[in-house]
Chain A
Amino acid sequence: MRTLYKPRASQRRKERMVRVWLYVAYTAIIVFFLFPIYWVLSMSLKTVPQLFATPPVWFPIPPQFSNYSYVFENTPILRYLFNSAVIVAATVFFALLIATLAAYGFSRFTFRYKRPSLLAVLAFQMISPVVIAIPLYRTFAALHLLNNYASLVLVYVAVVLPFITWFLKGYFDTIPYEVDEAAIVDGATRWQVLTRIILPVSAPGIATAAILAAVLSWSQFVIPFILIDSPGMFPVSEGLVNLQSNTESITLHYLSAASIVAIAPVIFIFVLLQRYIVSALTSGAIKG
């Protein structure tokens, strides 16, 4: 029977055809997904006549890097990036802190209503932020907390928490409970078990959770759009919409350059860490 599976010439030819078709499929997929990004990148490097040229200028040579310096000097894009960085960093910190505690609680304790509580946490993830943003706007306005980083971070933390908690709970579940038991027998408290044993072992999981929280909060739009109206505090996605609507002051090549600046950090993270992100997303996906 084994000999049947020895690759024969016909099978090798078939295998080569499969590979050729896969390359064809990959090319089509990559063109579809990267062309829009490439096109905006090329627009960001064009002169004004090149923007409207027919046929289009596919490769702007020489590239107008001066468009980028114009954007940096004449729009608040750096300010927006800075705002986003501060908000995202604070969100990641607090979300990880709270999610780690909760994930440990869900992973290491048995209690009544555990499964319903876990599902309730998950259910919050399904709620549209626009639904909660309106009452939050009224409450924050009454408390004079609009245009406030801290209130924004609180909402961001709540939005990313369900996902991060589930992800970390799944990660902690893979660490055998016997490890905890041994430490507790030796006199360690729960807190010591978490900080000295669980956390060091799950460093890769924590790092992935941090990246996912960062990407999620980097993309938030509805919440800052409603809770922030002072332009100096806009995060980057809201700032870009603002630039887009000021069409007199900013034209296509500048808008393109600003968009590229805004997506560069995320794309950079994704390309650099895609292996970890994929394994995180796939393991999270299986566990729901």
Chain B
Amino acid sequence: MASQVRAVRGRSWTERLAASPILWLAPLGLVLAATFLYPIVEIIRLSFTNASLTGGNYSYTLGSYARLFGSPYFASMVRVTVIFVFFSVVFQILLGFLIALAVDQGARRGMRASIVTRTAVLSAWAIPGVIIGIIWGILYQESGAGVLNYLAQLLGFGQIPFLSSPRAALASVTVANIWRGTAFSMILLYAGIQTLPADVLEAARVDGANAWQRLRMVVLPLLAPILLVTLVIVSIDTFNTFDMVLALTGGGPGRATEVVALSIYDQIFQQFDLGPGAATAVVLLAINAIMTFVYLRLERPEELS
């Protein structure tokens, strides 16, 4: 690389340009700046105004934040989001890990069923979020057409108000989200499992460790960094989820399933309250930024070129 640097000096500007990556990276930089950087600055600016979506004059104020944090809906939104994210993430990681282990074990044995399983799980992930909302809406039907209600009654649980009771609705939305997102943590952890050093596992086997001991004392510690990274990525993803919830419950009943991203949409496009909506968006942006920072910290140990 030193020779490259030396070559740059004392050349014409065209040659210097050819030796620099600027032309290669410029289109990427321009598109990202126009579509992300500018709107981020703008949303932060708008959060300090009392602007309305319908236009008109506005002035700068802290009122949006005061209204947002003072509103009883803020506490409810935080509670709903925390429950939704917590249970989604826990189960997506847990199920994702178990499925990754099962698929890996089958793949090592050359079982074709492992490929079928992997494809089935991934298919759920590829379906657009709104359509997942619609599909689960059909499953959760509370009329005679509801198959899950039929099965619940068969098992003696009686009629379950999947989408009409606030508590059940939040659980229903979370289950649908777990169905949707498990594939993603499964594939990340599956990749992680494949990087595990085979000789260490074999050594543990020779030393007489049983499957549970190998999992707890060898696999989990080795996989811990990837588990952490998966945890952060899945959490960011879940915080940003909105499409599936919108199609499934629209945030209701009441505001029982109004997660933070849906609340932004609702405030701005249903109530035309741009200021408080933008303030909520800044809250979500802050969550994204903090988690991205944590993620980058976790990723650090590699080379710092």
Q: Which residues of A contact B (CB under 8 A)?
A: 18-19, 22-23, 25-26, 29-30, 32-34, 36-37, 39-40, 43, 51-56, 97-99, 101-102, 104-106, 108-111, 114-115, 117, 119, 121-124, 126-136, 138-139, 154-155, 157-159, 161-162, 165, 189-190, 215, 218-222, 225-226, 236-238, 240-241, 244, 252, 255-256, 259, 262-263, 266-267, 269-271, 274-275, 277-278, 281-283, 285-286, 288
Contacts and interface: CB of A to CB of B under 8 A. Distances in A.
B13 interface: no
Contact of A240 (B124, B131, B179, B277): B131
B215 interface: no
Interface residues of B, number: 93
B138 interface: yes
Contacts of A286: 191-192, 195
A132 B120 contact: no
B40 A132 contact: yes
A253 B99 CA distance: 32
Interface in B88-135: 98-99, 102, 105-106, 109, 111, 113-124, 126-131, 134-135
Contacts of A51: 145
Given A22-B111, A25-B102, A26-B102, A215 B126 contact: yes
B190 interface: yes
A126 B234 CA distance: 10
A81 B267 CA distance: 30
Contacts, number: 277
Contacts of B247: 240-241, 244
A130 B128 CA distance: 16
A111 B17 CA distance: 13
Query: Nearest 7 A-B pairs (CB), nearest first?
Result: A105-B24, A158-B35, A282-B191, A135-B39, A135-B42, A109-B21, A102-B28
A160 to B, nearest CB: 11
A126 B297 CA distance: 15
Contacts of B127: 37, 219, 263, 266-267
Contacts of A161: 28, 31-32
B77 interface: no
B87 interface: no
A53 B114 CA distance: 35
A110 B1 contact: yes
B17 to A, nearest CB: 11
Nearest to B25: A105
Nearest to A285: B191
B36 A127 contact: yes
B169 interface: no
